[in-house]
């Protein structure tokens, strides 16, 4: 019987191993499949002949894998070169791999797409199906990606709690900036809006990669928010850019010697640049919070909905492959959209289209001023993040003598 090979690539999510479990469980139960193998550290494991046999793993470990953070097989960001494809096919032949599954984002879908196409060119029968994964939520063709709901909840709860802290510390720190991951899509910073438990609650300003950063408009919004609330809560995507396309993290902000401070080269984040802009303009003290990959691995904040959907996506990939469907990525679409009626069904998107397209925030999800989200976005995000913690506030009415 033909064998299965599965791998994980790119940055992890808190539920990527649930998708892996879905593939392994479904493939192991099939009477049409022989061995179920995994590639260690993505496609590098194929090239380096480092595959693992899931039959040799402890059944209890495999059962617990669904709720384990990180990428259990190990990940990779290796960009597969054309001259490496023959070596990949050689390895697939060696292990009689006829079903190939990879869990990841755009680059991962590009890898599996090119492998399946090359296999067809050289006459090697190979069925390949991609399983979506990214906290950025920017994959083409799907309502959302496994991993995004949990990361969105991480952002929303972090901004909720940090906003309460900022409110109570406003006599010390006048502003706080929370930076999310996301190079070109604003889905994660937008999800912070779910933290608003009452009118005027944080976040007050959201900055999206889809909108050019306007320094003057931003400073005006900061000033107005401070006037209204006594402090300012700001959320930004790491990939926000200036009007000329340059990253804000590589801003023209200069040091005391008039030297330009660049982004990654100087270890500067967008949040750090925004912090400096506000401090220089208003003389305020504030803080920035850059959590980096914590949004990708916070299993303590993962959602049951997200874990279940991730698992089902993995199982659906196996179902598609056994039915003869190849060259596609599993997608999800809503059959019911809001609240308790929310439900999803599965579809497919061609791997080539997923690999070559990104999915930015729709224009109707962002307010005209570019600093907030619309009701349409809230209707989209609320069923995904679920109910957030409820906190109380003192009335703080001034007592009478």
Distance CA 257, CA 331 (A): 52
Q: Which of 136, 143, 173, 300 is catalytic?
A: 136
Residue pair 6/24 in contact by the 8 Å Cβ criterion = yes
- Name beta bridge partners: 6: 38, 101
Active site residue 136: yes
Token pair of 360 as six digits: 């930015």
Residue pair 123/273 in contact by the 8 Å Cβ criterion = no
Long-range contacts of 375-382 (CB under 8 A, 24+ apart): 377/190, 377/193, 378/193, 378/194, 379/337, 379/338, 380/337, 381/152, 381/190, 381/191, 381/193, 381/194, 382/194, 382/338, 382/339
Q: What are phi and psi of 385, to 5 degrees?
A: -90, -20
Q: Residue 205, CB half-sphere, CA atoms under 13 Å: how many?
A: 28
Active-site residues, by number, are 136
């Amino acid at each position: 019987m033909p064998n299965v090979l599965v791998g994980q690539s790119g940055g992890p999510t808190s539920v990527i191993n649930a998708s892996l479990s879905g593939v392994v469980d479904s493939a192991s139960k099939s009477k049409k499949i022989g061995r179920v193998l995994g590639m260690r550290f993505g496609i590098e494991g194929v090239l380096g002949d480092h595959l693992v046999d899931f039959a040799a793993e402890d059944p209890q470990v495999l059962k617990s894998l669904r709720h384990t953070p990180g990428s259990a097989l190990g990940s990779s960001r290796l960009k597969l070169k054309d001259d490496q494809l023959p070596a990949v096919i050689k390895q697939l032949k060696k292990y009689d791999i006829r079903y190939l599954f990879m869990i990841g984002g755009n680059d991962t879908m590009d890898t599996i797409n090119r492998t399946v196409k090359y296999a067809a060119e050289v006459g090697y029968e190979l069925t390949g199906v991609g399983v979506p994964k990214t906290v950025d939520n920017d994959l083409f063709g799907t309502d959302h990606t496994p991993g995004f709901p949990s990361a969105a909840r991480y952002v929303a709860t972090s901004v909720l709690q940090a906003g309460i802290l900022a409110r109570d510390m406003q006599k010390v720190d006048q502003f706080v900036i929370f930076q999310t991951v996301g190079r070109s899509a604003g889905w994660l910073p937008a999800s912070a809006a779910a933290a608003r438990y009452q009118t005027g609650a944080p976040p007050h300003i959201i900055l999206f990669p889809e909108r050019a950063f306007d320094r003057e408009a931003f400073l005006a919004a900061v000033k107005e928010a401070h006037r209204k609330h006594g402090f300012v809560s700001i959320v930004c995507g790491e990939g926000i850019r200036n009007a000329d396309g340059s990253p804000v993290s590589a801003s023209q902000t200069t040091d005391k010697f008039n030297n330009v401070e660049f982004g990654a080269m100087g270890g500067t984040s967008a949040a750090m640049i925004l912090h400096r802009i506000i401090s220089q303009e208003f003389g305020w003290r504030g803080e920035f919070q850059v959590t980096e990959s914590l949004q990708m691995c916070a299993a303590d904040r993962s959602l049951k909905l997200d874990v279940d959907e991730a698992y089902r996506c993995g199982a659906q990939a196996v179902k598609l492959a056994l039915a003869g469907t190849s060259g596609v990525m599993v997608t999800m679409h809503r059959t019911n959209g809001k609240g308790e009626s929310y439900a999803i069904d599965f579809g497919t998107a061609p791997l080539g289209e997923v690999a070559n397209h990104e999915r930015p925030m729709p224009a109707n999800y962002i307010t005209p001023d570019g600093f907030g989200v619309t009701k349409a976005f809230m209707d989209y995000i609320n069923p995904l993040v679920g109910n957030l913690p409820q906190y109380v506030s003192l009335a703080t009415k001034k007592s009478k003598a």
